[in-house]
Amino acid sequence: MKLYNTLTRRVETFEPDDGKTVGMYVCGPTVYDHLHIGNLRPVIVFDTLRRYFERFKGWKVLYVQNVTDVDDKLIARSIDTGDSVESIAQQFTTAYFDLLETVRALPPSESPLATDHIGDMIALVQRLIEKKAAYESDGDVYFRVAAFQGYGKLSGRTLDEQEAGARVATTEQKENPLDFTLWKAAKPGEPRWPSPWGEGRPGWHTECVVLSRRYLNDRLDIHAGGNDLVFPHHENEIAQAETDSQKPFFRFWMHNGMLSFDGEKMSKSLGNFAYAKDVLARYGTETVRYFYLSRHYRKPLEFSDDGLVAAQAALRRITTLLADVTAELRTAPDGEPGQDGRAFRETLAVYRARYVEAMDDDFNTVAAIGVLQELVNAANRFRNTTMGSDRAVLRDVATLLRELCAPLAIVPPESDRPIESIEGALIQILIDLRLALRTKREFDLADLVRDRLDACGITLKDTPQGTLWSRQS
């Protein structure tokens, strides 16, 4: 398995230290609102990576995702609405986990709340002050960036470059405009906790250091999130963690590309966003997952209805084949397949190997989906040209397709049942009716059934083993 490591800026071989357990920390939501469709990309991307690790590599994954339930955005929303920070956080934390279920993301192994670990954060800040890597100023505490020689190694930015284009507002309280907040003194009406520097609350960058180390211990394998977190959030995490422990933080840092709309980064502040729950309700979970995974995770992705419609059509080719094969096999003749069937069965191992090769190559879901579509094409050609016991090999095709789709979660469980129970069953009823009409020598009516099915995109083929049906490509 090879993955791109943002820290080293190259693709490297990845495997867990003990060969069997992976520790993953994926930055979670700030629960002040529903997630927009751009926020959903890391959820789907890293859920899929986790699924692949578990299903194809046989690794156990400890998947930790924090919930930021105190933050500037929550406080701003509380001021706007008049609701308490606690009630807003509770409302949107529930909404977030409902969304995870909707999008079929596996639940995190641990989902710690920031507010449950304030004491641990205060302890970290205190240790950094003792190491002269942080300082207190008017009740706030700042990390002294100049004290950490490795600052900028994740983002590739030098201190000089950062100072020239500093995003952080300069204040008289700071020694250096790049110094970042570890503890914020409480303002009137804000949530607050007691500390050696007065009442206040921890900074966001401190939260993820504490929670990742608390719940993963020494299994600091992969830290992941959107590439907008590389700087300053993840850079600031590394500075704190490595200053505190005097040893490397996470081994691998993975970042997905941003979602854009009309060429601009999607964001609530710009107003160019759609809520994830609304897009999922319109297009369905599997279509949205397919849409995201049909673009390499590190590349930017343009959001559009046209793209989702295309994903819907491409996904339908897979689910349609599964449904059709399931319906056909109910009446397929038993017996060992002949030469053609055995030859086609042997090709299935090649498709599986190519899929694994793609996923092992920096998690290339684009190439993996391409293998799925090639398998569907080959299976449809086989269905349209093969008769008799050879067709029983389609059962192996369906099994393989479900196996390969499982990490991507693009085929719902028992996905063929709605189509099989309604559409497939109705087609079979019409085939049986046509046979009864032919038996009664009512050929005109029998031909009418065939022609009407053909007009609906269903082709019938009469064989010695019975009438077979397939969808027109």
**pLDDT at residue 271 is higher than 80:** no
**What pLDDT is attached to residue 392?**
85
**What pLDDT is attached to residue 415?**
46
What are the sequence ranges of the domains in the chain?
Answer: 2-137+203-256, 305-471
- pLDDT (tens digit, 9 = 90+) per residue, 143-186? 999 999 999 999 998 776 666 445 445 567 899 999 999 999 99
**What pLDDT is attached to residue 417?**
44
- pLDDT (tens digit, 9 = 90+) per residue, 437-460? 988 899 999 999 999 998 888 888
Name the residue with higher pLDDT: 260 or 468: 260
Is domain 2-137+203-256 given the CATH code 3.40.50.620 in the classification? yes
- pLDDT (tens digit, 9 = 90+) per residue, 127-148? 999 999 999 999 999 999 999 9
**pLDDT at residue 421 is higher than 50:** no
Concatenate the DSSP letters of all residues of 146-181 into one string.
Answer: GG-TTTTTTTT--HHHHHHT--SPP-TT-SSTT-EE
Task: Say yes or no: do domains 2-137+203-256 and 305-471 share a fold.
Answer: no
| Tokens, residue 430 | 């019409």
Residues 6+ apart with CB under 8 A from 413: none
The CATH number for 305-471, chosen from 1.20.120.640, 3.90.1150.10, 3.90.870.10, 3.10.105.10, is 1.20.120.640
Cα torsion 345, 50, 409, 103 to 10°: value is 180
From the list 451, 462, 443, 453, the residue with the least C-alpha distance to 423 is 453
Amino acid 426 reads L
**What pLDDT is attached to residue 158?**
75
Considering only the C-alpha atoms of the chain, give the largest distance between any 2 of them, rounded to a whole number of Å: 97
The answer to whether the beta carbons of residues 366 and 290 sit under 8 Å apart is no
- pLDDT (tens digit, 9 = 90+) per residue, 339-383? 888 999 999 999 999 999 999 999 999 999 999 999 999 999 998
